[in-house]
Structure 1
Amino acid sequence: MMTFAELGLDAKLVQATDALGYKNPTPIQEKAIPVLISGTKDLVGLAQTGTGKTAAFGLPLLHLIDEGQKFPQALVVCPTRELCLQIVNEMELFKKFQTGMHVVAVYGGTSIGQQIRDLKRGVQIVVATPGRLIDLIERKAINLEQIKYVVLDEADEMLNMGFKDDIEFILQNTPNRQSTWLFSATMPPEIRRISKKYLKDPMEITVGKTNTANKNIDHQYFVTSAQHRYQTLKRLIDFNPGIYGIIFTRTKADAQDIAEKLTREGYDIDALHGDLTQQQRDKVMGEFRDKTLQLLIATDVAARGIDVAGITHVINYELPDDVEVYTHRSGRTGRAGNTGVCMSIIHIREMGKMRHIQGIVQVPFHKMDIPGGKDVCRKQFFHFMEKLLQTDISHGDYESYVPMLEEKFADVSKEEVLKRVAAMEFDRFLKYYENAEDLNIYEQRRERFERGAGMDRRGGDRERMPGRDTRGRQFGSSAGGNGGGGDYARLFVNLGTKDGFYKASFLQFILDLSDLRKEVLGRIDMKEMNSWIEIDKRAAKQMIAAIDGKNYKGRRIRMNDADSRR
C-alpha cells in the first residue's frame, strides 16, 4: 500500500501527515496528488463525500505555493460556511511545519471588515463561499490577478444552490490561473459544461461510480402509511438508543414542526433550516458537534456542506425527488472508513421511486419491519443495562456511602432494587409502548389500498377515467367529462397557499393521507385560504373520510363535496 512519502509531497507535508497519524492515502488522494503537484494540469475529481477530497487538493496546494510571497496564489471555492471553515481547519493541520503559510476563510454571515483586515495581513490561500468572494471582488478588497490555482469543491452542491453564474464570474476574474481543479460527488450536465468551457483538457479521476452510494452504509427502508410517518420516526429513534444522526425533511416547516414535537417529548434535537440567522445556525451546529444534541433535523439546503464526524444514522423522513440528493444525504454517515446506516420512511406509492434510486446508486436496499412496542422497550432496556455496567465509579468517594446504602436496602432484595431502577428509567417507554399499534404495511393491506384506489395488482388502472390531469390536460377517453361534471366530483378543503403548500406538495399531502393514486385526480385550484379538487367520484368518499377532521399544524381540516356545500 502506498504512503504519503511516495506521492512526491514536500517533506514538511509528509511530516505533518505522519504527526496526524495518516500513513496511507485514500484512493482519491493516491490518484490526484501525483497529478496535481505538477501544478500545470486541470483536473476533474469525482468521489463521494467523506473520501478525503480536502487533502487531495489541500496537500498539493501547500506543496506548490511559495510561502515567501504574501499575496493570494490559490483560491478554493465551496458552497457553505461550514465547509469553508472545515477546509481551513484541515489545511491548518497540514501546514503545521510551514510557518510562513497563511490560509484565510471568507464567508457570509459575519463581519466583512474583519475578513478584509485578514486579507491585508498577507495570505497565500483563500477559501471562500461564492457570495462573499464576489462581494470582496466588487469592493476591490481582494486581488485575484495573481491566483495560479483555483479549486471548485463540492461543485455539484454549488450548482444545486444556484451559484452557476457566480462560479462563472469567479473563473472569469482569475485570468492568470495555471490550473483549475474541480471536485464533485456527482457529474450533472452543468458540471460537464463548465468543465468543457473553463478547463483545458482536464484529467478525470473517478473513485467509485458517479452517483453511487458509499458501500460502508447500510441502506434500509420502512414502509408505513402517510399518517404514521411521525410515529415511525419516533419508533426508529427509540429503537436505536445510541443514535447520533441527521433527519432530513423536504420543507423547513416540517423540520421545525417535527423538532418542536420531539423536543416536547424529551428528545435532544434541534432544527436547521433557511429561516435561521447565522448566529442561530452556529449555535445549533455547535451543540450538535459537541453532542449536546443527539439529533439534528434539517432541510437539504440547510444541511449542505455539513461534515460532522461520527454520525451513525441518517433518516429520510421522506425520500427526495433527486438521486443526487439521496447520495448527498446518505453520505453524511459512513465517512472516513466508518460504517453508517441510512434509513428511509416510505409510503407504498414511493416504492417505485425507491427502486429507481436503488438502481442508480447500485447498492442493495434492505426492507425492514418497523419495530413493535415490545421490541423498542427491550432494546432500550438492554442499552440501559450496558450503560449501567460500564459506568465509571472510580472517580467518586462512593465507598463512604456504601454502609448507608446497605443499611437502607437491607430488607430489599437485589431483584426488587433492579425492578425499581428499571421502573425509574423506563416508566415513560413502558406506558407509551404498552399498547403500541403495528405501523407496518403488509402485502395484504397494500392490495386493499390499491383496490380502493381503482388499481390492479400490477399498479395499472383497471378502468382509466376520462377527464383532465393536474395540469388541466385531457386524458383517457375522448368522451370524457369536463372536470366538475360527469364522472368527477368537486371537493372543497380549507387548506391553501397560506398553509405553506404549493401545488406539488399539496398533491402529495392529500394523496398520502388518503392512500389514493394521482390518476384519480383532475384539476386542482389552489387559493390562499382554500382549495378545490376535482376527483373521480368513486374515490371522493375515500378522500373525504381520510382527510376531513384531521389536524394540520394545530388546525382542523374540513373537506366536503363542494357542490353539496353550495
Structure 2
Amino acid sequence: MLTFEELGLKPEILKAILEIGFENPTPIQEKTIPHLLTTQQDLIALAQTGSGKTAAFGLPVINQIDADSKRTQAIILCPTRELAIQIAKDFDAFTKYTKKLDVLPVYGGSSIEAQIKSLNKGAQIVVGTPGRVVDLINRKKLKLEDIQWVVLDEADEMLNMGFKDDLDFILSHTPESRQTLLFSATMSREVLRISNDYMNSPEEISSGKRNQGAEKVQHFYYVVNGRDKYLALKRIADMNPNIYAIIFCRTRRETQEISDALASDGYNADCLHGDLSQAQRDAVMGRYRKRHLQMLVATDVAARGLDVTDITHVINYNIPDELETYVHRSGRTGRAGKEGISIAIVGPKDSGKIRQLEKIIGKPFTKSEVPAGEAVVEKQLFSFIENVKATEVDEKQIQPLMDNILVQFEDLSREELIKKFVSMEFNKFLAYYKNSNDLNTNERGGRDNDRGERGERGGRKSGNYATLFLNIGEKDNLNSGTLLGFMNGLSSIPNGIEFGKIDIQRNFSFLEVEAKHEKTVMDALNGSEFDGRKVSAEQKSGGGERKSDRSDRRRSDSPRSKSGSGSGFKGRFGDNKKPSGSRPRVKASSGGRRK
C-alpha cells in the first residue's frame, strides 16, 4: 500500500494531512493523485460518497498552485452551498501550513459584497455554486483567464438541477488549456454528456465498478402497502433505539410532512429541503451534527455536502426516480471505514426496481420483515435497561437523599420495585403496541401474515368504528402519516381516540374513527385548514360500523408521546425542541402541535 509521502506531495501538505489523521491514501486517492501530479490530461473519477474524493482532487491541485500569484488558478464547481462550504473547509485544513494560499467559497444566500471584497484581496482557489459564480463573472469580479484546473464535483447533480447553461457560460470564460476534472459517484447519461461537451479525451479512473455501492453498507428492503409506509418507518426507528439516520423523500412537501408527523409523534426529527431559508438550514444542520436530532428527513439535493461520518441508517421512504441516485443516498452511511445500513421501504409493485438496484450497485438486497410490536417493545425495554445500567451516579448529589429514598421504598421488594420502575416508563409504549397488526405484505399486495385474523396475541381489538369522508386527498399531498400528524395538531381532538383504516384517494379520503368519538373528530376537522385548504368532514353515506385491526394508528398513544412520563423515549441525543427559526407547521384553526 502506498503512503502519501510516496505520492510526491510537498512536506507542508503532508504535515497538514497527518494532523487531520490521514494515514494511507484511499483507493481513489491512490489512483488520482499521481495522475494529476504528472499529466495535464482531463480526468473522470468515479468514487462513492465518503471515499475521499475531495482530497483526491484537492491535494494535487494545492500541491501545484503558485502561491506567490494572487490570481485565481483553480475553480471547483459543486451543486449546493453546503457542499461548497465543506470543500472549502477541507481545503483550509489541507493548506494549514501552505503560506500565502487562500481558498474562497462563493455561493448564493450570502452577501455577494463580502465575497467580492474577498476576491479583490486575491484567492488562488475558488469553490462555488454555478449561479453565484456566473453572477461574479458578470460583475467582472471573478476573472478566470488564468485558470489551470476546473473541477466539476457532483456534475450529474448540477445538470439535474438545471445548471447546464451556467456551466457552459463558466467554462467559456476559462482557457482551452485548462485541465478539467470530473468527480462523481455514478456514471449516468448526464455525466457522459458533460464529459463529451467539456472534456478532451479524458482518462477514466474508478475505485470500483461503475456505480457500485459502498463496500461496508448492507442493503435491506421492506414491502408494505402505501398506506402503511409511515407506520413501518416508525417501527424501524423504534427497533433501532440508537438510530442516527437520514430519511430521503422525493419532494419538498413530502419531506416537510413526514418530518412534521415524526416530530408530532415525539421523535427527534427535523427536515432539510429547498424551501427553507439559509438560517433555518443552518439551524437544522447544527442540531443534526450535534446529535440533537436522531432523524433528518431530506431531499436528495438538500443532503448534498453533508459531512457526517457516523450515520447509522439511510432510509429511502421512496425509491428515487433515477435509480443511480440510490448510490448517492446509500453512500451517506458506511463512511470512514464504519459499517452502515441502507433501507428501502417499497410497495408491492416495486420488486422490479429492487432487482435493478442490485445490478447497479453490484450487491444483493435482503428482504426484511417489519418487526412485530412485541419485538419492538422488547428491543426498547432492554435498550432502556442498558442505559440505566450505564448511567453515572453523582454520589455527592444523591447520597444525602438516600436515607429518605430507602424509607419510601422499604415496603417494596426488589422485584416489585423493578416492575414499577419499568412500568412507569413503559406503560404507554406497551399500550401502543399491544394490539399492533402485521404491516408486511408480499409483492402481490397481500399480507404475509395477518396475525389478527387468527386472534393471536397482538391481534384484532374489537370496537365499533364510523367512517368519515374528507374532501382532501393525494392531490393535496396527503398520506396517512401526514393526516395523523395534522389531527395531532388539533387541540379539540382529545387524547385517547383510536383511529382505524385510512384510505387516501386522489381527491378525497376515508377515515375510520371510534363511533363514540365520531362527532368530536368531525367537528374538529370541519373548518380547519390543511396546507391552506379548508377541510370538510362528513359521515360516509351507506357506511356501517366496522371492526378495525389498525390500533397502530392511535395518534395519542404514540410510544414517544410526551404526555405522562415518557422520559425514556425522548431519545438519547437530546430534546425535541424546534429551533427558533423553524418553519410554521401545517396550518390548523386550533393552533400548533399539542405539547
Q: Does TM-score exceed 0.5, indicating one fold?
A: yes
Question: In the alignment, which of 497, 507, 510 is matched to residue 549 of structure 1?
Answer: 510
Partner of 1:275: 275
Match of 2:519 in 1: none
Question: In the superposition, relative to structure 1, how do residues 366 and 104 fare at CA in structure 2: closer, same or farther (>3 Å)?
Answer: same
What is aligned with 1:288? 288
- Which residue of 2 is the match for residue 91 of structure 1? 91
Give 2:129's aligned amino acid.
T
Indicate the residue corresponding to 1:499 in structure 2: 476
* Preserved contact between residue 147 and residue 174 of structure 1 (Cα < 8 Å): yes
Kindly indicate whether the alpha-carbon contact (under 8 Å) linking 2:148 and 2:179 is maintained by their aligned counterparts in 1. Answer: yes
Q: Is the 8 A contact 2:474 2:504 kept in 1?
A: no
Within 2, Cα distance between the matches of 1:362 and 1:36?
29
Q: In the alignment, what sits opposite 1:513?
A: none
Q: Report the Cα offset of residue 106 of structure 1.
A: 0.4
User: Over residues 212-232 of structure 1, what are the superposed CA-to-partner deviations in whole Å (9 max), with x where a residue is unaligned?
Assistant: 211211111111111111111
On the 8 A contact 2:223/2:443 being kept in 1, the answer is no
In the alignment, structure 1 residue 81 sits paired with structure 2 residue 42: no
Given that residues 548 and 559 in structure 1 are in contact (C-alpha distance below 8 angstroms), is that contact kept between their aligned partners in structure 2? no
2:147 maps to: 147
Higher relative contact order (CA 8 A, sep 6+): 2
State the alpha-carbon separation in 2 of the partners of residues 279 and 443 from structure 1.
43
How far has the Cα of 1:65 moved from its partner?
0.6
Shift of 1:559: 10
Contact kept in structure 1, 2:348 and 2:445, CA below 8 Å: no
The Cα shift of 1:109 comes to 0.7
Which region of structure 1 is more displaced relative to structure 2, 295-304 or 212-221?
295-304
* Residue 21 (structure 2) pairs with residue 21 (structure 1): yes
Count of residues in correspondence between the two structures:
481
Partner Cα separation in structure 1 for residue 134 and residue 189 of structure 2: 24
Distance 1:83 1:361 in 2: 24
State whether residues 244 and 313 of structure 1, in contact with CA within 8 Å, keep that contact through their aligned partners in structure 2. yes
Distance in 1 (alpha carbons) for counterparts of 2:389 and 2:507? 48
Alignment correspondent of 1:71:
71
Alignment of 1:499-518 (within 5 A): 499=476
For each residue in 1:239-295, what CA deviation from the matched residue of structure 2 results, as whole angstroms up to 9, or x when unmatched?
111001111112222221221111111111112222211221121111111111111
Query: Residues 268, 495 of structure 1: CA spacing in aligned structure 2 closer, same or farther, 3 A cutoff?
Result: closer
- Matched residues in 1 for 2:178 and 2:505: separation? 65
**1:57 Cα deviation from its structure 2 partner:** 0.7
1:215 is the counterpart of 2:221: no
Question: Residues 394-451 of structure 1, C-alpha deviation per residue, up to 9 Å, x if partnerless?
Answer: 6864333333333332332222222232123222211110111111115786399xxx
In 1: Cα distance, 2:296 partner to 2:305 partner: 14
Which amino acid in 2 is paired with 1:389? K
Rounded Cα–Cα distance in structure 2 between residues aligned with 1:444 and 1:203: 46
Could you say what secondary structure the match of 2:298 adopts? strand
Shift in CA distance, 61/431, structure 1 to aligned 2, threshold 3 Å? same
* 1:462 alignment partner in structure 2: none
Conservation of the 8 A alpha-carbon contact between 1:3 and 1:23: yes
Report the Cα offset of residue 13 of structure 1: 0.9
Distance of 1:166 and 1:312 partners within structure 2: 36
Q: Which residue number in structure 1 is paired with residue 265 of structure 2?
A: 265
Letter in 1 for 2:66: D
> Distance between the aligned counterparts of 2:505 and 2:264, measured in 1?
31
Q: Residues 374 and 61 of structure 1: is their aligned pair in 2 closer, same or farther, counting only changes over 3 Å?
A: same
Among all aligned residue pairs of Structure 1 and Structure 2, give the percentage whose two residues are the same amino acid.
48
Matching residue of 2:59: 59
Alpha-carbon distance in structure 1 between the residues aligned to 2:254 and 2:341: 22
Gaps of 5+ in 2: 449-469, 481-502, 513-524, 542-595
CA distance in 1: counterparts of 2:304 and 2:139, whole angstroms: 27
Label 1:128 to 1:395 Cα distance change in 2 as closer, same or farther (>3 A): farther
CA distance in 2, matches of 1:420, 1:428: 13
- Is 1:106 the counterpart of 2:99? The answer is no
The 2-side partners of 1:394 and 1:543 are apart by 52
Aligned to 1:325: 325
TM-fit CA distance, 1:205: 0.2
Matched residue type, 2:190 = E
For the residue of structure 1 that corresponds to 2:510, the secondary structure is coil
User: Is this contact kept in 2: 1:218–1:340, CA < 8 A?
Assistant: yes
Deviation of residue 97 (structure 1)?
1.0
| Range 336-345 or range 28-37, more displaced | 336-345
TM-score, normalised on structure 2? 0.75
The whole-number CA distance in structure 2 between the counterparts of 1:175 and 1:347 is 50
Change (3 A) 1:276 1:559: farther
More helix by share: 1
Question: 8 Å contact 1:315–1:344 — kept in the other structure?
Answer: yes
**2: CA distance between counterparts of 1:134 and 1:557?**
55
Which residue is 2:590 aligned to?
none
Is 2:409 the counterpart of 1:446?
no
Structure 1: 5+ residue stretches without partners? 449-492, 502-508, 511-541, 561-566
The 8 Å contact of residues 103 and 123 in structure 2, kept in 1 or not, is answered as yes
What CA RMSD, in Å, does the superposition of the two structures yield over aligned residues? 3.0
Q: Superposition pairs for residues 200-239 of structure 1, below 5 Å?
A: 200-239=200-239
SS at match of 1:141: coil
Q: CA deviation at 1:546?
A: 13
Q: Is the 8 A contact 1:270 1:293 kept in 2?
A: yes
| 1:191 corresponding residue in structure 2 | 191
- Equivalent position amino acid for 1:92 in 2: D
**Cα separation, partners in 2 of 1:444 and 1:29, compared to 1, 3 Å:** closer
CA contact (8 A) 2:48 2:185 kept: yes
Corresponding residue of 1:355:
355
1:499 aligned partner, one-letter code: D
CA distance 1:443–1:320, change in 2 (3 Å): closer
**Tell me, what secondary structure is at the counterpart of 1:375?**
helix
Alignment of 1:335-414 (within 5 A): 335-393=335-393, 397-414=397-414
Give CA deviations for 1:103-134 in whole Å, capped at 9, x if unaligned: 11101111111111111122111100111110
- Measure how far apart 1:41 and its partner are: 2.5
**CA displacement at 1:556 relative to structure 2:** 5.5
